[in-house]
Chains A and B, each alone.
Chain A
C-alpha cells in the first residue's frame, strides 16, 4: 500500500514549522504503523526506543499509581522519553481503538542528529513543548 507521507505529515500540527525539504528528510526516518485495539505500545520502566505521533485512533497513557490521560487527536506525541535521557518510559501506553501512528525510532533520530543537527533541534523543540505540558504527570504520577 502506497502512503503519501508528505500529505499525511503536513496535516499534523507537530510538523507545522517544518519546511518542505525538512519534511522530506524527516520522512526518510519515519514509519507508519497500524495498531489494533488494546495493544500495549510500551510499558513503564522499559527502555524507551520509539516515539510515536498519533495519526488516528485513541490512546490511554497511565502512570504508576493508575492516574491516566487519554489522547484522541492527531499530532499528539506518545513516548517522547525515548528521545530524552535517561531513555526509559515513565508511563504505559495502550491503544483504546485501532489506529495509525508515525513511528520515530531513537536509532533513526540519532542518525539524523549526526547528519542534520538543525532539523533534529527542530524536532527536539517540538518534543519539548509536549514534555513541558506533560511535566506535571511525569513528575508527580510516579512519586
Chain B
C-alpha cells in the first residue's frame, strides 16, 4: 500500500490536521502575546507608580487611624491649656487672616511663621500658638493647616453685636 491510500489507512490526514492545528494555535498565541507584550512591559515599568498610588491611600488611611487613636489616648492627658480670649486675639487674628488671603489654604505653618516674621508682627511664635489654641488655625490634613473661617466669622459677629 502506497501513496494517499497508506496515509488514510494510518490516520495520516487527521494527524496532519491535528499538527496544523497545534502549530497554528501556537503561532496565534505567540502573536497575541507579542501584541500585548508592550502593555505588559509598560505595566512592569510603572508598577511602582501603581503600587505607590495604593500605598499612599493606605498611608492616608493609616494616618487617620493613628490620629484617631492618638486623640483617644490623649483624653486622660489633661492639660490646662488656656487659650487667650478673642478680645486679646482680635488684632493678631485680623493680621494673620490678612496674610492667609495672600498665602492661600491649606497652608504650611512654618511659611506663615516666616511671613509673620518678615512683616515684623509682634511675637509671631506665641501668636500662632494662641491662634492654634483658640482653634482659629486648625490642622487640615497631612501636616497642613487651614483657617477656621466659621469660628472667625462667629467671633467677629459677636464682637460687632457687643
Q: Which residues of A contact B (CB under 8 A)?
A: 13, 37-38, 58, 60, 62-63, 65-70, 72-75, 92, 94-97, 132-133, 135-137, 139-141
Contact = CB atoms under 8 A, between A and B. Distances in A.
A67 B126 contact: no
18 contacts: A38-B124, A60-B109, A62-B143, A66-B110, A67-B142, A69-B143, A70-B109, A70-B132, A72-B79, A74-B79, A94-B110, A94-B125, A96-B125, A133-B70, A135-B66, A136-B59, A136-B66, A141-B143
B111 interface: yes
Contacts of A96: 125-126, 128-129, 132
Contacts of A97: 125-126, 129
B144 interface: yes
A68 B108 contact: yes
A37 B125 CA distance: 7
A67 B77 contact: no
Interface string B6-25: 00000000000000000000
Contacts of B79: 72-74
What size tier do the contact residues of chain B reach? Answer: 20 to 34
Contacts of B149: none
Nearest to B145: A68
B74 interface: yes
B9 to A, nearest CB: 75
A42 to B, nearest CB: 14
Given A67-B142, A73-B79, A38 B66 contact: no
Contacts of A136: 59, 62-63, 66
Given A13-B77, A68-B108, A68-B109, 8 more contacts: A60-B128, A66-B111, A68-B145, A74-B77, A96-B125, A132-B66, A135-B66, A136-B63
